[in-house]
Amino acid sequence: MIHYSRFVLKNGLTVIHHLDENSQLAVLNLLYKVGSKEEDPNKTGFAHLFEHLMFGGTPNIPEFDEPLQEAGGDSNAFTSNDITNYYLSLPLSNIETGFWLESDRMRGLAFSQKSLDVQKGVVIEEFKERYLNQPYGDIWLRILPLAYKEHPYSWPTIGKEISHIEEANMDQVKSFFKNFYAPNNCILVVAGNISLERVKELCSIYFEDIPAQEIKRINYPQESVQTEARFQEIQSDVPSNLILKAWHMGDRLSQNYYAMDLLSDILGSGKGSRLYDELVKKQAIFSEIDAYISGDAEPGLFLIEGKLLPETSFHQAENAIKGVLDEFFRTGCTDRELTMVQNKTETNIRFGDVNLLNRAMKLAFAEYLGDIELTNKEINLYLDITKEILLSEAKRTLVDTNCSTIHYKSSSND
Partner 1 sequence: MTRISKPSLSNEGYNLQFKPFEKTLTKQGVPFYFQSAGTQDVIKMELVFSGGIINQPAPGVASFTCSMLSEGTKSKSGTELVNALDYYGAYFQAKASEYDSVITLYCLSKHLMAVLPLLNEAIEDSIFPEKALNTLKRNAIERLKVNEQKSSFLCRREFNSKFFGNDHPLGISSSIEDINKIDIAQIIEYHQTYFLKGLKYILLSGRFEDSLKDKVVESINFSNKVSSNIIYPELTTQKGKFIVTKEKAVQSTIKLGHKGISRTHAYFPTFQLMNTILGGYFGSRLMKNIREDKGLTYGIYSSHETNSHYSLWYIESDLNKKNIEIARKEIFSEIAKIQTELVEADELSTAKNYLLGSILKSLDNNLSLSGRMKLILDNELNYDYLNEFKERILKATAEEIREIANQYLHINDLIEITVE
336 binds partner 1 (CB under 8 A): yes
108: region left, alpha or beta (phi > 0 left; psi from -120 to 50 alpha): left
CA atoms within 13 A on the CB side of 257: 15
Binding of residue 221 to partner 1 (CB under 8 A): no
Yes or no: say if 181 and 212 are a contact pair by the CB < 8 Å rule: no
Is residue 41 within the footprint of partner 1 (CB under 8 A)? no
272/295 with CB nearer partner 1 = 272
Asked whether position 235 contacts partner 1 by CB under 8 A, the answer is: no
Choose the binding region for partner 1 from 77-85, 89-97, 169-177, 292-300 (rule: CB under 8 A). 89-97
Which member of 284, 373, 400, 413 binds partner 1 (CB under 8 A)? 284
Is there binding between residue 402 and partner 1 (CB under 8 A)?
no
The continuous run of DSSP H or E covering 383 comes out as helix 374-383
Closest C-alpha to 140, from 160, 165, 126: 160
Choose the stretch contacting partner 1; rule: CB under 8 A; options: 142-150, 171-179, 332-340, 398-406: 332-340
Least distance to partner 1, CB of residue 14, Å: 21
Total residues interacting with partner 1, rule: CB under 8 A: 82
Binding flag, residue 150, partner 1 (CB under 8 A): no
| Cα distance between residue 407 and residue 414, in whole Å | 14
Judged by CB under 8 A, the residue of 41, 59, 62, 221 near partner 1 is 59
In whole angstroms, what is the distance from residue 102 CA to residue 87 CA? 9
Sign of torsion over alpha carbons 39, 214, 369, 389: negative
Pick 80 or 103: Cβ nearer partner 1:
103
In the list 83, 262, 325, 356, the residue contacting partner 1 (rule: CB under 8 A) is: 356
Among 5, 113, 343, 401, binds partner 1 (CB under 8 A): 343
Interatomic CA distance for residues 405 and 322, integer angstroms: 13
> Is residue 307 at the binding interface for partner 1, with CB under 8 A as the rule?
yes
Measured from the CB atom, the residue of 37 and 409 that comes closer to partner 1 is 409
If one asks whether residue 205 binds partner 1 (CB under 8 A), the answer comes out as: yes
- Residue window 107-146: x/- pattern of binding to partner 1, with contact defined by CB under 8 A: xx--------xxxxxx-xxx-xxx-xxxxx----------
What's the CA gap between 300 and 99, in Å, rounded? 35
DSSP state of 94: G
Q: Where are the beta strands (DSSP E) in 309-358?
A: none
If binding is defined by CB under 8 A, does position 290 make contact with partner 1?
no
Question: In DSSP terms, which residues pair with 88 in a beta bridge?
Answer: 28, 75
**255, 393 Cβ separation under 8 angstroms:** yes
Q: By CB under 8 A, tell whether 339 contacts partner 1.
A: yes
Phi, psi (5° rounding) for residue 289? -155, 135
Q: Contact between 327 and partner 1 (CB under 8 A)? A: no
Distances (CA, A) of 387 to 110, 258, 261: 55, 12, 14
Among 36, 154, 240, 294, binds partner 1 (CB under 8 A): 240
Q: Return the residue of 91, 138, 141, 232 that touches partner 1, per CB under 8 A.
A: 91
Site membership for partner 1, residue 326 (CB under 8 A): no
CB proximity list for 385: less than 8 A, separation 6 or greater: 255, 258, 259, 262, 338, 342
Instruction: Please identify which residue in 41, 272, 295, 370 interacts with partner 1, judged by CB under 8 A.
Output: 272
312 binds partner 1 (CB under 8 A): no
Among 361, 252, 248, CA closest to 296: 252
Q: How far apart are CA 296 and CA 278, in angstroms?
A: 29
Binding status of residue 344 toward partner 1 by CB under 8 A: yes
163 sits near partner 1 (criterion: CB under 8 A): no
